[in-house]
Every structure is written in C-alpha cells, then in structure tokens.
C-alpha cells in the first residue's frame, strides 16, 4: 500500500488507522511505546505535521512496520523528498520514487488511496447496499449495528465520507444517504491487484464465519473438484458469469431486507503441465 503515497505523514496516519481498525483499543500512545517512547508527544506532533519527520525516527517506524526491500527504499525516499529545500532535489527524488514504484501504480492522484481502501475493505461494498434496505436509517449507529458491530463508529464515518468523495454514495442536504446509480470514474479506474487480493481474503474469512454462525437456511455453500479440458475453460467461465447476472437480476432496488455476498471461485488445483518443446 505504501506505493500509493508520496507523503510519508499521510502514509503513517493511514497505518495508524489500519491498526485501529484491526484493534480499536490500539492508540497513538501504544504505538509510541512500541517505538520506545514513554511520551507520545513526538509521534503525535509528527503525525499532525507540527514537527518534521527525521530519518532516525523514520527508520524506527519502518522497522516497526516491517518494511523491507523496495517498500523500505520507497519509504526512505518519500521521507527524504518531504524534507527537500530545492526544486532540483525534489525532482531527483521523485524520479527515484517513480523507478521503484510498481508499474501497476503508474500515477498518483488525490483519490489513489481512497480507491485502494474502498476496494480492499469489505464494508465499503456493503454500506452502499445497506442504503437500499427497506429499514435503512442514515446514521452511523444504525450502519455500524447492521454491519454486525465489527467496525467501530469512527471507521464507519470515515468509510461513508470516502464513499461520498468517490461518488459511490450521495449525501443529501437533509442528511440522507442514497446509493449512486453510476460512477464511471471509479468503475474504470485500474484496480490495484493488492486491493483485490485483500478484498477477497476478507470475504473468504467472512464465508468461514458464516458457516459457524448462520444456519443452512441462511446461507448456501457448494463446491466440486473436477477435471476440465483447457479449451472448455472459457465456457465454464461464461456459465458462472451468467449465474452472476441472474442472481444480480434478483437484487432489490429499495426494499431489500438483508445484504448478502455472492462469490464464486474457479481455479486450478493441479500443477500446470509443462508445455512440450517444439
């Protein structure tokens, strides 16, 4: 995720939020203690932009975040770039950053991180659908409760604000929220593979949870192990795609009662047979 940032302070604040999402009790003070500081004031001032992030502190933070390889080098460069005093220095560091940054992250804009978060964290896809439920209430407490209480209120508020910023939710003057009908800018954005990976990992974990907590009448699980001819794979994918289209046709517009997740997987279990030399 670091490659979606050019500002080290923005990156560190995002890491703090990520940790707090995983553990709502995690605090700035706890992070400062992990870094070896009894008083969190230095870290607080740095994250607020009131003090410059010096390299000695940056190195401690990088070790705490377990940054390695290109990610570590990129972090060091954005820290150095943030302390530049001349335009020539800045240009040099930006060129070095561009060389390290993966090809999938060609350009950065104000929405890069927002899009990454919206795709990778499961509740961003759930919240817009919640607005279509028949009993929807446009307040953070209601949304948090209907998400199962798994996401804290602060994160829910940030997610709603992010979805509004991306145009996936529409916020009305009276405080109401509705799902946007279309958002070409978001839909056509190149989706970062790491965001997709994180999204599916979260959904797989939720599928496991559903097996334990939901009755068979509330869920459906089916799997099969089979052999296929490689030439028949496109037809198999089309059958799955058609099933998705038919399920989506059942989606309620404004009178749904619950939010469901529908996933399918088709992937190779056997080791790929090596191609014969011609």
* CB neighbour list of residue 157: distance below 8 Å, 6 or more residues apart: 140
CB atoms within 10 A of CB 87: 8
Task: Write down the residue that tokens 């961003």 correspond to.
Answer: 124
3-35 pLDDT tens trace: 878 888 888 988 888 888 778 888 999 999 999
User: Which secondary-structure segment (H or E) carries 15?
Assistant: helix 8-22
Mean pLDDT along residues 53-80: 93
Q: Nearest 5°: CA angle at 93, between 50 and 194?
A: 85
Q: At residue 109, does pLDDT exceed 60?
A: no
Residue whose C-alpha is closest to residue 145's, from 122, 167, 127: 127
Confidence of residue 139 (pLDDT cuts 50, 70, 90): very high
pLDDT at 193 over 80: no
How confident is the model at residue 7, as a pLDDT?
A: 84
pLDDT score, position 6: 81
pLDDT at 105: 63
H helix count then E strand count, the chain? 13, 2
Give CA–CA dist 133/93, Å, rounded: 49
Mean pLDDT within 171-184: 80
- Banded pLDDT at 182 (limits 50, 70, 90): low
Q: pLDDT digit string (tens) for 201-236?
A: 778 878 878 888 888 888 888 888 888 898 999 999
Say whether pLDDT at 108 is over 60: no
Query: What are the sequence ranges of the domains in the chain?
Result: 2-100, 109-278
How confident is the model over 123-152, as a mean pLDDT? 89
Q: Compute the distance between CA of residue 167 and CA of residue 91 in angstroms, rounded to an integer.
A: 33
* pLDDT tens digits for range 227-247: 889 899 999 999 988 998 998
The CATH architecture of the domain made up of 109-278 is Orthogonal Bundle (1.10)
Taking the C-alpha atoms of residue 14 and residue 114, their distance in angstroms, rounded to an integer, is 11
- Pick the residue with more confidence: 61 or 7? 61
The pLDDT mean for the chain works out to 83
Q: Is the pTM of this model over 0.85?
A: no
Per-residue confidence band for 183, with pLDDT thresholds at 50, 70 and 90? low
């Amino acid at each position: 995720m670091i490659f979606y940032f050019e500002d080290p302070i923005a990156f560190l604040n995002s890491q703090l939020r990520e940790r707090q999402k995983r553990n709502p009790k995690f605090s700035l003070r706890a992070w400062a203690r992990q870094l070896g500081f009894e008083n969190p004031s230095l870290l607080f001032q740095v994250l607020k932009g009131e003090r410059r992030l010096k390299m000695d502190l940056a190195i401690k933070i990088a070790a705490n975040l377990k940054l390695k390889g290109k990610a570590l080098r990129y972090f060091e460069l954005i820290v150095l770039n943030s302390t530049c005093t001349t335009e020539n220095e800045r240009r040099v560091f930006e060129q070095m950053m561009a060389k390290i940054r993966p090809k999938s992250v060609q350009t950065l804009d104000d929405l890069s991180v927002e899009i990454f978060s919206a795709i990778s964290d499961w509740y961003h896809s759930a919240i817009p659908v919640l607005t279509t439920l028949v009993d929807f209430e446009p307040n953070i407490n209601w949304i948090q409760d209907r998400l199962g209480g798994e996401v804290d209120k602060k994160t829910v508020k940030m997610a709603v604000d992010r979805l509004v910023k991306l145009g996936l939710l529409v916020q009305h003057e009276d405080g109401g929220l509705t799902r946007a009908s279309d958002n070409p800018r978001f839909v056509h954005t190149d989706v970062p593979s790491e965001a997709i990976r994180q999204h599916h990992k979260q959904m797989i974990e939720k599928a496991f949870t559903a097996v334990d907590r939901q009755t068979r009448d509330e869920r459906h699980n089916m799997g099969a192990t089979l052999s296929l001819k490689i030439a028949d794979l496109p037809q198999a994918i089309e059958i799955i795609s058609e099933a998705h289209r038919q399920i989506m046709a059942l989606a309620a517009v404004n009178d749904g009662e619950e939010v469901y997740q529908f996933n399918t997987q088709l992937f190779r279990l056997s080791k790929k047979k090596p191609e014969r030399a011609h």
